[in-house]
């Protein structure tokens, strides 16, 4: 398994995705858009594409022109039938690459909040990995419309579009199931302005108060990755 990672800032890496990939013997390569590096690889150079989060907007192409290149690369990967996973900003970039607008959310959603599987998801192969309800970590102020042909998988009280799939190999998650206590601490340190009070903004100290939540989120992550693996061409 050859995995290409699109990383947008140094403090948002693979988190709990990495041990799952290592357990499969994956060869992991990373495009770090925040530093000089080689061109974005072509879809023929990898089997999986994982687009991570970041504090910028998917609409910031004027100030961050590499976003345009990244969206083209994501679209090319989808067209080539690659397995594609987008998380938070990565999910928004997948939606944008598929032609859907990314817009400001009604409210910022930050901290641990439940998501619910939606009725439209029933029968989709990736939906089987989602429980009816799960507490997951969020850190976003934007959202997206569902792309044409996508299947809505999950919602929350604060955000309708929490997850979608396009076929069995493309999964976009607005929430974070990969984050670790260290990852949450990094977000708090690097993005303190996001923590202004709001109906769906949890205080920073509450985010780390229940360590068991991380293990539960990582178990959900593993189930989702297992489902993507079952749908990948090698299987």
The CATH number assigned to the domain holding 111 equals 3.40.50.880
> Would you state the pLDDT for residue 160?
96
How many angstroms separate the most distant Cα atoms in the chain? 47
What are φ and ψ of residue 139, in 5° steps? -160, 85
When the pLDDT of each residue in the chain is averaged and rounded to a whole number, the result is: 97
User: Which range of residues forms the domain containing residue 216?
Assistant: 2-231
User: CA-to-CA distance for 162 and 168, rounded, in angstroms?
Assistant: 17
Contact 102, 144 (CB under 8 A): yes
CA–CA distance, 73 with 125 (Å, rounded to integer)? 25
| Residue of 184, 176, 136, 189 whose CA lies nearest to 17 | 176
pLDDT over 70, % of the chain: 99
Classify burial at 233, counting beta carbons within 10 Å of its beta carbon; exposed 0-12, middle 13-18, buried 19 or more.
exposed
| 3-class DSSP state of 87 | strand
pTM: 0.97
**Non-local CB neighbours of 122 within 8 Å, separated by 6+ positions:** none
Q: Within 13 A of 154's CA, how many CA atoms are on the CB side?
A: 25
Cα separation of 117 and 140, whole Å? 19
- pLDDT tens column, 57-103: 999 999 999 999 999 999 999 999 999 999 999 999 999 999 999 99
Q: Is the pLDDT of residue 234 over 80?
A: no
Compute the distance between CA of residue 174 and CA of residue 106 in angstroms, rounded to an integer.
Answer: 14
Would the pLDDT of 235 be above 70? Answer: no
Instruction: Tell me the CA distances in angstroms from 13 to 28, 32, 70, 224, one per residue in order.
Output: 12, 10, 17, 18
pLDDT on residue 232: 85
Which pLDDT belongs to residue 233? 79
Q: Residue 54: its pLDDT value, please?
A: 98
Q: Which pLDDT score is estimated for 228?
A: 98
CB 16 within 8 A of CB 50: no
Burial 177-190 (b: 16+ CB within 10 A, else e): bbbbeebbebbbee
Number of domains in the chain: 1
d(CA 102, CA 81): 23
Average pLDDT over residues 182-190: 97
As a whole number, mean pLDDT of residues 31-60 equals: 97
Summarised one tens digit per residue, pLDDT across range 117-165 is 999 999 999 999 999 999 999 999 999 999 999 999 999 999 999 999 9
């Amino acid at each position: 398994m050859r995995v290409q990672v699109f990383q947008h800032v140094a403090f948002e890496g693979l988190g709990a995705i990495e041990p799952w990939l290592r357990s499969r013997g994956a060869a992991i390569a990373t495009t770090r858009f925040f530093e000089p590096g080689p061109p974005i690889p072509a879809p023929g150079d990898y089997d999986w594409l994982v687009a991570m989060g970041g504090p910028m907007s998917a609409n910031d192409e004027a100030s961050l022109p590499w976003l345009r290149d990244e969206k083209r690369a994501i679209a090319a990967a989808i067209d080539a039938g690659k397995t594609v996973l987008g998380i938070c900003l990565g999910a928004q970039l997948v939606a944008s690459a598929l032609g859907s607008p990314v817009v400001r959310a009604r409210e910022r959603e930050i901290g641990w909040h439940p998501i619910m599987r939606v009725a439209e998801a029933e029968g989709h192969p990736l939906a089987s990995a989602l429980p009816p309800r799960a507490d997951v970590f969020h850190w976003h102020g934007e959202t997206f419309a569902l792309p044409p042909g996508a299947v809505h998988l999950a919602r929350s009280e604060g955000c309708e579009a929490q997850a979608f799939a396009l076929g069995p190999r493309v999964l976009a998650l607005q929430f974070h199931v990969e984050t670790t206590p260290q990852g949450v601490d990094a977000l708090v340190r690097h993005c303190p302005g996001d923590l202004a009070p709001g109906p769906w903004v949890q205080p920073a100290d509450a985010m780390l108060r229940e360590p068991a939540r991380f293990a539960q989120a990582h178990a959900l992550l593993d189930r989702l990755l297992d489902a993507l693996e079952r749908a990948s061409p090698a299987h």
